[in-house]
Amino acid sequence: MDGTATPKTPANLVLLGPPGAGKGTQARKLEETFGLVQLSTGDLLRAAVAAGTEAGKQAKAVMEAGDLVSDDIVIAILRDRLADPDCANGVILDGFPRTTVQAEALDGLMQEIGQTITAAISLDVEDAAMIERISGRYTCAGCGEGYHDSFKQPAVEGVCDACGGTKMSRRADDTAETVGQRLKAYHAQTAPLISYYDGKGVLQRVDAMGQIDAITTKMATIVQKTIA
């Protein structure tokens, strides 16, 4: 599709946020509201390999050799994908870029196709609250009903409200320690990207600890401004 035929600026977003910040939920809302397409690196690679594109073949060979797909190949796959008609309104990039080198390569691609990254939206979380939120979760092993140490205890301790079961289970990687480590790793990895997009004047910070609807509204306002 000829990019110049697109009547308005495509809203190309980079979505940043740690696991548990609600990235998936918010991305789906933006897809619905603005006709955007969420592109995660894994999905992009799988689709290109399945489609057998030139870049997809390269990615397949690299992955079969057990190596990481290079930035050049990811950019080539992204270049192909952005030319698809369903991406005309813009895309939500999730998981790419992860480094400033990748962010620069992405900007190069955008320039090449006459587009820009219109906003890098950072879903900001409070680490202590996130640790409490995630590490407090548990579910009934019998029926899957979800509970939380602080926010949703069953009426009778240890007994499922829904099915009366008494076996509760917790995900092994949801302990306070592992959640804390995940957040620390996220901040370390993302800080350079935050600076990069701040320097480009496109960084938007959204408090991700509030109500889902309020976060959605704030993100929609940001996107609306970038395409106006």
Contact call for residue 163 and Zn ion (CB under 5 A) = yes
Residue 69 annotated as lining a ligand binding site: yes
200 is catalytic: no
- Does residue 144 sit in helix, strand or coil? coil
Name the DSSP class of 201: T
Q: Give the residue from 34, 29, 35, 43 showing the smallest Cα distance to 94.
A: 43
Is residue 34 within 8 A of residue 41, CB to CB? The reply is: no
171 is catalytic: yes
Catalytic residue among 79, 152, 171, 225: 171
At 226, list the tokens: 């970038």
Q: Which residues pair with 122 in a beta bridge?
A: 16, 205
Contact call for residue 107 and Zn ion (CB under 5 A) = no
Among 162, 176, 185, 212, indicate the residue that binds Zn ion (CB under 5 A).
162
28 is catalytic: no
Is residue 175 within 8 A of residue 169, CB to CB? The reply is: no
Q: Give the residue from 86, 83, 82 showing the smallest Cα distance to 96.
A: 82
Is residue 143 within 8 A of residue 159, CB to CB? The reply is: no
Contact call for residue 143 and Zn ion (CB under 5 A) = yes
Number of residues that bind Zn ion (CB under 5 A): 8
Find the binding residues for Zn ion in span 164-203 (CB under 5 A): 165
Of 8-16, 24-32, 37-45, 160-168, which segment contacts Zn ion by CB under 5 A?
160-168
23 is catalytic: yes
Catalytic residue among 60, 137, 170, 218: 137
- The 10 Å Cβ neighbour count of residue 69 is 20
H or E stretch at 183: helix 176-199
79 is catalytic: no
Contact call for residue 154 and Zn ion (CB under 5 A) = no
Among 21, 160, 179, 193, indicate the residue that binds Zn ion (CB under 5 A).
160
Summarize as ranges the residues that interact with Zn ion (CB under 5 A).
140, 142-143, 145, 160, 162-163, 165
- Catalytic residue numbers read 23, 98, 137, 171, 182
Q: Give the annotated binding-site residues for Zn(2+).
A: 140, 143, 160, 163
